[in-house]
Amino acid sequence: VLSASLYTRGHWKCCGNVFLSFAEKLLVLTVATEETDGFLRFMQSANYFNYTVKVLGMGEAWKGGDVGRSIGGGQKVRLLKEAMEALADQEDLLVLSVDSYDLIFAGGPEEILRKFQKANHKVLFAAEGLIWPDKRLADKYPSMRSGKRYLNSGGGFQKIVSQWNLHDNDDDQLFYTKIYLDPLQRQTLNMTLDHKCQIFQNLNGAVDEVLLKFGTDRVRVRNTVYDSLPVVVHGNGNTKMYLNYLANYVPNTWNYEHGCSHCDDDVMDLSQLKFPNVFVGVFIEQPTPFLPEFFQRLLTLDYPKDKLKVFVHNNEVYHEKHIQKFWEENRNVFNSFKVVGPEENLSQGEARNMGMDLCRKDATCDYYFSLDSDVMLTNRQTLKLLIEQNRKIIGPLVTRHGKLWSNFWGALSLDGYYARSEDYVDIVQRKRVGMWNIPFMAHVYLVKGSALRNELKERNYFVLEKLDPDMAFCRNAREMGVFMYITNRHDFGRLISTANYNISHYNNDLWQIFENPVDWKEKYIHQNYTRIFTENYLEQPCPDVFWFPVFSEKACDEIVEEMEHYGSWSGGKHEDKRISGGYETVPTDDIHMKQISYEKEWLHFIREFISPITLKVFSGYFTKGYALMNFVVKYTPARQAYLRPHHDSSTFTINIALNNKDTDFQGGGCRFHRYNCSIESPRKGWSFMHPGRLTHLHEGLPTTNGTRYIAVSFIDP
């Protein structure tokens, strides 16, 4: 439990410009033995308000005990005693003693002086609603009708700290408490507590009392119980994470008018520096869709590859073929490339420890970049942007498409799991843009190598009790006082869902149209598809026969591979048990989408990507996007070379070419008899769309060599 208190050596004078003269003589004393992230934040807030701060104990070994878990802190009192003795001749000096690791200023010196004068006491300590460290002393506190009753230690001044003759690891708050509880000393020292949080706001036991008050220039913390605006905000006890949340705004970190005011502080300019060495830890801990695309995005990061060393932990036998292919094609691209496979039988925590330790032990490693396989970094500048922010731990915001699921938590519940902070949704949706101190992140983050060799120098940070590895790492970082930041200043990419990823097919990503629609579209839809709507990018080679791009090369290849892997082609027979009635009038050598359990996905493809084109070319017709017959046809000279003239049992039909003429086959095409119009050079990935009944009698022209594949749907039968 840490402290805050005020003491004036002289006497208050009544009027005029006293406040300004006293402001010049306000001295802030704080004890800090090292420059932690919390200390630097404290100094930033102090400098913003132009406080005069004297730091005591910097560079000394801390001997005051583990005050985060138990009693202690006596070393602070000893240092304050020594400092106050040196100030003995400054009668008009107002001294403010505060902690620095978990405390910020929300207002300036003039406000403190004004409120201290109003309190009309010589010594003012912070107050809180919880008693520490000796609950047995509760009955000895003066009774009161309202306000916080118990002392929160603030440092000792002259008549108080001069009494200190204990050890560095004795408890400072108990020392001050006993003085305050002595009625004679309390009266002699003219001592009181800030019962209604006019100056000091201790958050322990009071989180529900405070909220943010946004102003034009800065943000304040408001105590709703006492309707006060405290000047000093202290994250004592288990409220340090809540202080981090408040400090994302207070005093001027972020507001609605100016946005993020600290995002460009202490940044690195990589254009003026040699690029740092980065160790990239890639973790494939479960079957992951679109893994080849993940590796391709890693390869295309805009960062010198000779500065990147790559460590891959693969826990899935299924993905060994993907990693092997990438390694064979790119093994000489990176500075080094190391793979640890499932045969090593490492737990996820052990693997993450191993990856991080490779950077820790390498003196040339400037940064460690942890990257899970379910992260799609669409921003090629991601690594540069993170390095430039110059934070010990920072991650880019990535979310699941169209959802609030992201790679960070804005708050934690009492049991250490997810809780939604007030600003979580606005950060995820980028309604508030900045750099945010948060309690938990996962999936992708950058850690300074210097932090791994100092604050985070222990090897085991990912294995802790029964916690998931990322929760264990973040808990260790929090306990070491290392701030973790998430930045949403740029659009970095997205998380993909690994849930329900079935790896029993030949090309499993084809089935991801529901779970990961954006990645499915990027992989399988033709790059010129959107031009259909923006540039009218389609053709009409025959009357009411529309021709447009829809599938990528990859989609065509994988659909063909999937069908050949299944292998049960119908043979083009009239007898067909797959259809109602068991007889096909105009049979083809085909496999139905239903046979490979792909009909649901295919119908969704029709609704998402074919229906909008239907509305464009057949104005006024609104399709249901439903088809009973969805199949891939295989034309070969030996089995079935052509298809006789026929009408389709559909309102309209799509016919998508799945391979290339001249390269894969010769001949082929489609002839529409009513219009005496033929299309003899189908394009891979392009689809015909034409009416099925009455007007468009058509035939499949003979395939003379090779194998031709097409995907067909009879839509709105």
Residues annotated as catalytic (active site), given as ranges? 708
Give CA angle at 195 (191, 199), nearest 5°.
Answer: 85
Residue 160 identity (one-letter amino acid): I
Give CA–CA dist 147/191, Å, rounded: 16
Contacts of 603 (CB under 8 A, 6+ apart): 625, 626, 627, 630
Question: Which secondary structure element, helix H or strand E, spans residue 310, and what is its range?
Answer: strand 308-314
CA 96 to chain centre: 39
Neighbour-count burial of 571, counting CB atoms closer than 10 A to its CB (0-12 exposed, 13-18 middle, 19+ buried): middle
Closest CA to 474 of 440, 436, 438, 449: 440
Residue 687 identity (one-letter amino acid): S
Closest CA to 103 of 199, 175, 169: 199
Give CA–CA dist 670/648, Å, rounded: 13
Whether a cis peptide bond, with omega within 30° of 0, leads into 251 is yes
Burial 394-413 (b: 16+ CB within 10 A, else e): bbbbbbbeeeeebbbbbbbe
Instruction: Assess contact for 385 and 490: CB atoms under 8 A.
Output: yes
Neighbour-count burial of 594, counting CB atoms closer than 10 A to its CB (0-12 exposed, 13-18 middle, 19+ buried): middle
481: left (phi over 0), alpha (psi -120 to 50) or beta: left
Give CA–CA dist 177/485, Å, rounded: 37
Q: At 138, is the secondary structure helix, strand, or coil?
A: helix
**H helices present in 87-143, as ranges:** 109-119
Instruction: Assess contact for 232 and 201: CB atoms under 8 A.
Output: yes
Tokens representing residue 129 in the block: 């609603």
Give CA–CA dist 248/486, Å, rounded: 11
Instruction: Assess contact for 124 and 192: CB atoms under 8 A.
Output: yes
Q: What is the DSSP string of 364-430?
A: T--EEEEEETTEEE--TTHHHHHHHH--SEEEE--EETTSS-BSEESEE-TTSSEE--TTHHHHHTT
Instruction: Assess contact for 471 and 492: CB atoms under 8 A.
Output: no
Closest CA to 273 of 185, 366, 369, 196: 366
Give 688's strand partners. 547, 655
Please compute Rg for the chain using Cα positions. Answer: 35
Give CA–CA dist 180/156, Å, rounded: 12
Instruction: Assess contact for 455 and 482: CB atoms under 8 A.
Output: yes
Give 103's strand partners. 234
